[in-house]
């Protein structure tokens, strides 16, 4: 049989192996536009950040072109991530089991998933990345507008621009670190990248890593949070 969730367009398909829809084509395109924008912003931003990295501007056609393109890529990132936020914010709300998952982080790192509570579509680590990205992108776009002199120079003082530049740089450093953690985790948890490439995961992957989510898809019922509920052996 095929379990369905019409609201999220997620289905469980019988077969060998069983496959589970995780992301629609539109969601995957949205994700990869966001990822590409973030990478381009990181490279162009680092090129403008320090003279020793200025050689990176050659990738964008020179210093002037890099300076002109960087803020526009930031605008693309903001609206692209906004699309992801509107799609996934509900699934990233904190649940009681997320606190238990964090408390047992040593078991997560050791791969002892049998000691963890059943998890919905996203675990606590993924939710933290989502909300950190949300906060940091807001900080980047707001501070970026203040220092975008071509269009907004008349709306802030020199002192405000200096503060905005400092905040922009700090937020950029943090978001690059968060992105690295996000990519590493996707590679570390085998089968995760498939979700954003093909849009589906195997039933075994869903059962092992996001059992509560899989159970809800099959039964069509949303389960109550159970922080101490352990997966069956």
Catalytic residues: 182
**H or E element in which residue 10 lies:** strand 10-13
| 11: three-class secondary structure by DSSP | strand
Tokens 């408390």, residue?
Answer: 103
pLDDT, tens only, 69-85? 999 999 999 999 999 99
**H or E element in which residue 5 lies:** strand 3-5
Q: How far apart are the first and last CA of the chain?
A: 24
Cβ 69 vs Cβ 63: under 8 Å: no
In this prediction, residue 220 has a pLDDT band, given cuts at 50, 70 and 90, of confident
- The reported pTM is 0.87
Q: How far apart (Å, rounded) are the C-alpha atoms in residues 169 and 54?
A: 16
pLDDT, tens only, 162-215? 999 999 999 999 999 999 999 999 998 888 999 999 999 999 999 999 999 999
Q: The tokens of 217 are what?
A: 């898809």
Q: How far apart (Å, rounded) are the C-alpha atoms in residues 170 and 220?
A: 44
| 21: three-class secondary structure by DSSP | strand
pLDDT, tens only, 11-52? 888 888 899 999 999 999 999 999 999 999 999 999 999 999
């Amino acid at each position: 049989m095929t379990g369905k969730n019409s609201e999220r367009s997620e289905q469980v398909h019988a077969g060998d192996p069983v496959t589970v829809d995780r992301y629609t084509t539109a969601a995957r395109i949205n994700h990869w536009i966001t990822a590409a924008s973030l990478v381009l912003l990181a490279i162009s931003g680092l090129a403008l950040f320090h003279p020793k990295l200025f050689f990176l501007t050659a990738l964008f056609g020179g210093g002037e072109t890099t300076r002109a393109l960087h803020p526009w890529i930031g605008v693309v990132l903001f609206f692209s991530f906004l699309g992801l936020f509107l799609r996934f914010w509900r699934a990233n709300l904190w649940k009681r089991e997320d606190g238990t998952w964090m408390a047992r982080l040593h078991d997560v790192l050791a791969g002892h998933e049998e000691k963890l509570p059943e998890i919905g579509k996203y675990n606590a680590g993924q939710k933290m990345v989502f909300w950190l990205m949300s906060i940091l992108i807001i900080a980047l776009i707001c501070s970026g507008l203040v220092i975008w002199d071509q269009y907004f120079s008349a709306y802030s003082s020199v002192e405000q621009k200096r503060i905005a530049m400092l905040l922009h740089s700090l937020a950029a450093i943090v978001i690059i670190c968060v992105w690295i953690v996000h990519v590493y985790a996707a590679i570390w948890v085998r089968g995760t990248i498939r979700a954003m490439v093909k849009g589906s995961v195997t039933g075994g992957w869903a059962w092992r890593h996001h059992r509560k989510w899989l159970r809800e898809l099959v039964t069509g019922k949303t389960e109550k949070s159970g922080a101490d509920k352990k997966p069956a052996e």
